[in-house]
Amino acid sequence: MEVKIQLHDTMQRKKRPFEPIDPENVRMYVCGPTVYDRAHLGNARPVVVFDVLYRLLRHVYGADHVTYVRNFTDVDDKINATALARKEAGAGGTLEELVHQRSDETIGWYLNDMRALGALDPDEMPRATEFIEPMVAMIEDLIAKGHAYEAEGHVLFAVESYKEYGRLSGRSVDDMIAGARVEVAPYKKNPMDFVLWKPSTDDLPGWDSPWGRGRPGWHIECSAMSHELLGATFDIHGGGNDLQFPHHENEIAQSKCAHPDAGFANYWLHNEMLQVEGKKMSKSLGNFFTVHDLLEQGVPGEVIRFVFLGTHYRKPMDWTEEKAVDAENRLHGFVELIAQYGDVDDAMKLRPEQAIIDALADDLNTHAALECLKKMNGSDDANALARNLIFLGFFSEEALSARVSTYRNGVDSLRRIAQKLHDARQRAMKSKDFSEVDRMKHILSLANVSVRMSKDHVDLRPEIDFDPAKLEGL
Q: What is the CATH number of the domain that holds 116?
A: 3.40.50.620
327: exposed, middle or buried (Cβ count in 10 Å: 0-12, 13-18, 19+): buried
- In this structure, what DSSP letter does residue 245 have? I
Across the chain, what does the average pLDDT equal?
A: 93
Boundary-marking domain end, from 252, 271, 290: 271
Query: Are 301 and 117 a contacting pair, CB within 8 Å?
Result: yes
pTM check: above 0.85 = yes
Tell me: do 370 and 421 sit in the same domain. no
Domain assignment present for 401: no
pLDDT digits (tens, 9 = 90+) for 155-182: 999 999 999 999 999 877 777 666 555 6
pLDDT digits (tens, 9 = 90+) for 277-288: 999 888 888 888
Assign residue 170 a region: left if phi > 0, alpha if psi is -120 to 50, beta otherwise?
left
Query: Are 48 and 360 a contacting pair, CB within 8 Å?
Result: no
Tell me: do 10 and 157 sit in the same domain. yes
Please determine, for residue 415, whether its predicted confidence score (pLDDT) is greater than 60: yes
Please determine, for residue 226, whether its predicted confidence score (pLDDT) is greater than 90: yes
Predicted local distance difference test score (pLDDT) of residue 182: 60
Please determine, for residue 81, whether its predicted confidence score (pLDDT) is greater than 90: no
Domain assignment present for 406: no
Please determine, for residue 36, whether its predicted confidence score (pLDDT) is greater than 80: yes
Helix axes 41-61, 354-361, angle to 10 degrees: 120
Predicted local distance difference test score (pLDDT) of residue 458: 93
Tell me: do 126 and 37 sit in the same domain. yes
**Phi–psi pair at 377, nearest 5 degrees:** -125, 10
**Rg (the chain; Cα; Å):** 27
Domain count, the chain: 3
Tell me: do 389 and 442 sit in the same domain. no
Q: HSE of 380 in the Cβ direction (CA atoms, 13 Å)?
A: 0
Binding-site residue set for Zn(2+): 31, 222, 247, 251
Of 439, 409, 404, 412, nearest to 424 (Cα)? Answer: 439
Tell me: do 422 and 461 sit in the same domain. yes
Q: Alpha-carbon distance 210 to 217, whole Å?
A: 15
Query: Average pLDDT for residues 384-411, to the nearest whole number?
Result: 95
Domain assignment present for 405: no
Query: Average pLDDT for residues 108-129, to the nearest whole number?
Result: 97
Domain assignment present for 10: yes
Tell me: do 420 and 335 sit in the same domain. no
Q: How many residues are there in the chain? A: 474
pLDDT digits (tens, 9 = 90+) for 45-79: 999 999 999 999 999 999 999 999 999 999 888 88
- DSSP, collapsed to helix, strand or coil, labels residue 215 as strand
Tell me: do 46 and 166 sit in the same domain. yes
Among the ranges given (309-323, 423-437, 452-466), the one the predictor scored with the smallest mean pLDDT: 452-466
Gap between the terminal Cα atoms of the chain: 53
Query: Average pLDDT for residues 309-326, to the nearest whole number?
Result: 97
As beta bridge partners, residue 72 has: 127
Domain assignment present for 425: yes
Binding-site residue set: 31, 222, 247, 251, 283
Beta strand residue intervals within 108-147, DSSP E? none
Boundary-marking domain end, from 395, 421, 439: 395
Its domain, for residue 435, covers 411-471
As beta bridge partners, residue 26 has: 66
Give the number of other Cβ atoms within 10 Å of residue 101's Cβ.
15
- DSSP, collapsed to helix, strand or coil, labels residue 400 as helix
Predicted local distance difference test score (pLDDT) of residue 285: 83
Tell me: do 135 and 235 sit in the same domain. yes
Predicted local distance difference test score (pLDDT) of residue 204: 80
Tell me: do 417 and 341 sit in the same domain. no
Predicted local distance difference test score (pLDDT) of residue 207: 93
Tell me: do 15 and 77 sit in the same domain. yes
Per-residue pLDDT band at 93 (split at 50, 70, 90): confident
Query: Are 371 and 413 a contacting pair, CB within 8 Å?
Result: no
Predicted local distance difference test score (pLDDT) of residue 86: 85
Domain assignment present for 279: no
Q: Which residue has the higher pLDDT, 187 or 52?
A: 52
Tell me: do 92 and 15 sit in the same domain. yes
Tell me: do 314 and 463 sit in the same domain. no
Please determine, for residue 89, whether its predicted confidence score (pLDDT) is greater than 90: no
Domain assignment present for 433: yes
Q: How far is CA 439 from CA 414, 422, 458, in A?
A: 15, 13, 15
Of 286, 327, 287, nearest to 306 (Cα)? Answer: 327
Domain assignment present for 151: yes
Boundary-marking domain end, from 256, 271, 286: 271
Binding-site residue set for ATP: 283
Q: CB within 8 A of 415, min separation 6: which ones?
A: none
Q: How far is CA 134 from CA 105, 220, 224, in A?
A: 26, 10, 6
